[in-house]
Amino acid sequence: MVDDLKKGLEGVLVAESGLSSIDGDEGRLIYRGYTIEELARGASYEEVVYLLWHGHLPNADELESFTAALNEEREVSDDVLATMERLAAADEEPMAALRTAVSMFSATEPERDADPEDLEASLRKGRRITAKIPTALAAFERYRLDEEPLDPHPDLGLAANFLYMLTGEEPDDIHAETFDQALILHADHGLNASTFTSMVIGSTMADIYSAVTGGISALSGPLHGGANQDVMEVLKEIDESDLDHREWVEQATDEGRRIPGFGHRVYNVKDPRAKILQERSKELADNGEDKWYNYTTTIEQYLSEEKGLGEKGIAPNVDFYSGSVYYQLGIPIDMYTPIFAMSRAGGWVGHVLEYQEDNRLIRPRARYTGPQDAEFVPLDER
C-alpha cells in the first residue's frame, strides 16, 4: 500500500473520464474530443449538454427532441417558488437558495422511486434539474427586487430564457449569444472540487439530486467558485477610485495586493476560456460601455508583461473576464457563482452517471497522526 501523502489529492488519478480534458501547458480544453473554441463558437449550450451526456453532438432531430424535453421541465412547483420568496425576504445568499431549491426539486420528481442503478432514469432526473435551475434562480432574484417571477418563455433557449426571466426583457442576439457561450465555457472542467464532490456522493448510489446539491455546496466555497465576483468587485473599486485604472493597479500591486482572476490550479498559460470571453467583452463594449473591457485589458497587460506574471505561469483564468461580461449583461454580482452552478450542472450529471456505469465507492484513507496509547480515565475520575 502506497503511503505517500498527496494533500488535496493533487496529481492523484482517481477515475477515467471521456467528458473533458485539460492541457494546462498548451492552454487547451476539450469536451468529448472537440475544442472549447469550436463548441463555444459553433454550438449551443443545449448541444454541449447533449454531447456531455450522450457522447456525440446531436443531429437536428435529436437536438429538437432534447430541447423540447428540457423546455417541458422548466417549471418549478409552487412550493419551490414560495421558498425562494421566503429566502429572498430573509436576505439569504443566492448559492444557499439554489442549494435549497435543487434539494426541493426531488419532492415533485415523477421517478423518485426508480432504482438507483437505473442510469437512464437518473439521466432524466438530471435533465429536470438542468431545466429547472434557471427558473428557480431567476425567481429568487425577482423576489429580491419585489417583483413577481416570470414564467419560462416557450420560444427561447436556456440561456436567452434565463436572461428573460431575470430581467423581464427578451435579450438581443449579442447578449443571448454571449451568455450561451459563457454557459458552454463553464459546463465542464475535469475533476475540479465540485465535480469530484458530486462523484463521491454518486459513488454511494445516492440520487442525482443529492449529487448536484453536493456540487453546489462545494462550488459555494471561496476557493472554488467565487473568483469572478471578486474580479468585478475590484473593477468597481477601480471605477470608483480617483486614480486612473493603470495607476490603480500599479499602486495595488506595489502594496502587495493580489488581483483576483489570475492563476489556475491547472493552467500555466492563459485559460482558453478567458480568451473567448475577452472577445465577447470587446463585442459588448463596442455596442455599449467600454470601460470594463478597458480595465481588464489594461490589468492583464500590466500584470502579464510588466510584472512578469506570464513568465511565472500565472495568467488570466476564465473568471477574470466572466465577471465583467456578466456585469455587461446586467447580471447582479452575487448571482455569478449560482450561474456557474447552473452551467456546471450539466457536467456534474455527466460525470456522476459516467462513474456509476462502473461504480466503486470512493473511499480514500488518511494517515493517523494522533496519540497511540492514551489511557482511558472513567468519567468520575477526570
Catalytic residue among 175, 188, 319, 351: 319
Strand partners, 35: 30
| Burial of residue 255 (number of CB atoms within 10 Å: 0-12, 13-18, 19+) | exposed
Rounded CA-CA distance 187/344 in Å is 4
Supply 282's cell numbers.
Answer: 470587446
Helix axes 60-72, 45-54, angle to 10 degrees: 100
The model's pLDDT over 143-167, given as tens digits with 9 standing for 90+, comes to 999 999 999 999 999 999 999 999 9
Per-residue burial over 37-64, b if 16 or more Cβ lie within 10 Å, else e, is eebbeebbbbbbbbbbbeeebbeeeebe
Q: 198, 217, 170: which is closest to 352 by C-alpha?
A: 198
Question: Could you confirm whether 264 is annotated as catalytic?
Answer: yes
Catalytic residue among 175, 189, 264, 351: 264
Domains contained in the chain, CATH given: 20-224+335-357 (1.10.580.10), 227-329 (1.10.230.10)
Question: What's the one-letter identity of residue 124?
Answer: R
Question: Could you confirm whether 245 is annotated as catalytic?
Answer: no
Rounded CA-CA distance 136/114 in Å is 24
pTM, full prediction: 0.94
Rounded CA-CA distance 222/242 in Å is 29
The pLDDT, as a whole number, for residue 2 is 63
Question: Which residues neighbour 268 within 8 Å (Cβ) at sequence distance 6 or greater?
Answer: 24, 25, 313, 315
The model's pLDDT over 257-296, given as tens digits with 9 standing for 90+, comes to 888 888 888 888 899 999 999 999 999 998 888 899 999 9
Considering the chain, what percentage of its residues have pLDDT values greater than 70?
99
